[in-house]
Amino acid sequence: MELASALSEKTVEQKQMLLVLLGYSIAEDEIYKIRRDNIVVLPVGQNLDNSTKGDVEIMKNIRKRKDGRWEARLKLNNKRISVYGKTQKECYNKLQKVKKANKNVSNSPQKNVTLFNFAKFWLNNFKKIEVKSSTFNLYENLINHMEELNNPLNSYKTSDLQLFLNTFGQTRIKELIYQLLKQIFKKALELDYIKKDVASFLTKGKIERIKKRSFTIDEQKKIMTNLKNNKLSRYILAYLLLGARLSELSSIKKANIKDEYLYIEGTKTKSAQRWVKISKRYQNILLSYDEPLFNWSSNTLKAKMRAFFQKLKIPGTTHMLRHTFSTNLYYLGADDNTRKQYLGHSSIVVTNDIYTHLDPTIKKEDIREIYGDLYPEF
């Protein structure tokens, strides 16, 4: 007798018991309904109306493999997707997440779409779901620089793109657009809009980086003497003693502090996950704060920092505090690996070339005079 026929004559409790024997899981807030010889998982009280027919179709594509796992297959945006789970329910939930991530993908543009329009399509339908809003805004601004690229995407040659790229000189924008074009054409090749990735042959060329400065000894003295018992001073001190990024500061909890070490839950790179040494004095200061320790938004912090530096008549930014921290570590005798770890960098080259600004007249004693035992011994 077929499974559907066998179950149709039984009560809900009997159906559930039989399904357990057959290997299907039961949850208190779910019931199982049968449709077209398939078992369909639906929340309690939900009917098989038009809004759930799509879910039924998904369940039809879930099968149990010989290795005991469940495999779910679905075709989205002309691409076949497979997910796996220990149970049928797990596969169902995973496919729901995939559908949700792709539900906002608009209709694919025509094959003769312009490069500029394809770039906007790529941004809104592929990058938006995987990057932070700040990164999305950066990409959007960069793509606006590409408005003149209004010929069909598949008509561009490497030489066309190189000439466009060279118009930006040796600037940081050139480097970012170079990276952007490579991503866009890679996706275009994957989606079969082009037959050859001409962007892969681009040359970035020399880029002149403007080396940011750190605060001078006199400026640091002025900053430290103007700190107060308020949240802004809490942030300034954290930047000068930890060098962490704003997103990393917001993740710091008292539970992250142990035996004069602090665990920073960075997200930018693998190197950003790190333990850093702190002084006993600064540990006590952190533990004296109420939680959350750091919860300001980027805009709030920048506005308050700007007002602080203007009041002191010091030309400075929040990020300069991080540069100052890196430079101070060098004066205090921290080795390359320690400084790299504090900054959460994957390479000491970045730490030394961009974040460390040395003055041969400054000595370790000059830093200790300002900060005392706020810094640990290295």
d(CA 228, CA 304): 14
Give yes or no for residue 17 having a pLDDT over 70: no
- pLDDT reported for residue 170: 84
In degrees, rounded to 5, the angle at the alpha carbon of residue 243 between the alpha carbons of residues 239 and 246 is 65
Q: Letter for the amino acid at 372? A: G
Determine the pLDDT at residue 304. Answer: 95
d(CA 124, CA 129): 8
Residues 6+ apart with CB under 8 A from 176: 138, 142
Task: Tell whether the model's pLDDT for residue 328 goes beyond 80.
Answer: yes
Is omega for the bond preceding 292 within 30 degrees of 0, making it cis? yes
User: What pLDDT, in 10s, does the model give residues 302-313?
Assistant: 899 999 999 999
Q: Name the more confident of 327 and 348.
A: 327
Residue with tokens 């810094």: 375
**Residue 108 pLDDT greater than 60, yes or no:** yes
Length of the chain: 378
108: closest CA among 169, 187, 166? 187
% the chain with pLDDT above 70: 74
Rounded mean pLDDT of the chain? 80
Tens-place pLDDT, residues 289-302: 999 999 998 889 98
Which residue, among 343, 235, 228, 224, has the nearest Cα to 294 in the 3D structure? Answer: 235
- In the Cβ-directed half-sphere of 321, how many Cα atoms lie within 13 Å? 25
Res 21 pLDDT > 90: no
Q: State residue 130's pLDDT score.
A: 82
DSSP 238: H
**Whether pLDDT at 190 is above 50:** yes
With a CB cutoff of 8 Å and minimum separation 6, the contacts of 127 are 136, 139, 183
More confident residue, 185 or 274: 185
Whether 271 has a pLDDT exceeding 70, the answer reads: no
Greatest extent of the chain over all pairs of C-alpha atoms, in Å = 91
Query: Over 60: is that where the pLDDT of 316 sits?
Result: yes
Angle, CA of 216, 218 and 220, to the nearest 5°: 70
Q: What is the dihedral of CA 97, 100, 102, 107, to 10 degrees?
A: 160
pLDDT confidence of residue 16: 57
| Better-scored residue on pLDDT, 267 or 260 | 260
**Measured distance CA(113)–CA(150) in Å, rounded:** 9
Task: Please give the torsion angle defined by the CA atoms of residues 231, 280, 219 and 341, in that order, rounded to the nearest 10 degrees.
Answer: -100
pLDDT for 313: 95
Q: How far apart are CA 236 and CA 260, in angstroms?
A: 20
Give the pLDDT score at 257. Answer: 96
pTM over cut 0.75: no
- Which helix (H) or strand (E) segment is 32 a member of? strand 30-35
- Per-residue pLDDT at 48: 37
pLDDT of residue 100: 66
Give, as one character, the DSSP assignment of residue 199: G
What's the pLDDT score for residue 184? 96
Q: Find where tokens 């949240």 sit.
A: 231
Name the DSSP letter for residue 212. P
pLDDT score for 335 = 87
Examine the pLDDT at 37 and tell me if it is beyond 70.
no
Residue 227, SS3? coil
Mean pLDDT of 213-222: 93
Most confident of 95-109, 217-231, 339-353: 217-231
* Region class of 192: left (phi > 0), else alpha (psi between -120 and 50), else beta: left
pLDDT greater at residue 150 or residue 59: 150
* Most confident listed range (6-15, 81-90, 120-129): 120-129
Q: How does residue 30 score in pLDDT terms, banded at 50, 70 and 90?
A: very low
Residue 163 reports pLDDT greater than 90: yes
Mean of pLDDT values over 53-67:
64
Query: Would you say residue 8 has pLDDT above 70?
Result: no
Segment 226-241 shows an average pLDDT of 96
Torsion angle of C-alpha atoms 352, 353, 354, 358, degrees rounded to 10: 70
> What is the C-alpha separation between 12 and 302, in angstroms, rounded?
60
Work out the pLDDT band at 20, boundaries 50, 70, 90.
low
Location of structure tokens 């039809």: 60
Out of 223-232, 259-268, 295-304, 354-363, give the one with best mean pLDDT. 223-232
pLDDT at res. 348: 65
Which domains, and CATH codes, for the chain?
3-102 (no CATH), 115-201 (1.10.150.130), 217-374 (1.10.443.10)
Q: DSSP letter string over 114-160?
A: BHHHHHHHHIIIIITTTS-HHHHHHHHHHHHTTTT--SBGGG--HHH
Helices 133-144/172-190 angle, 10° precision = 100
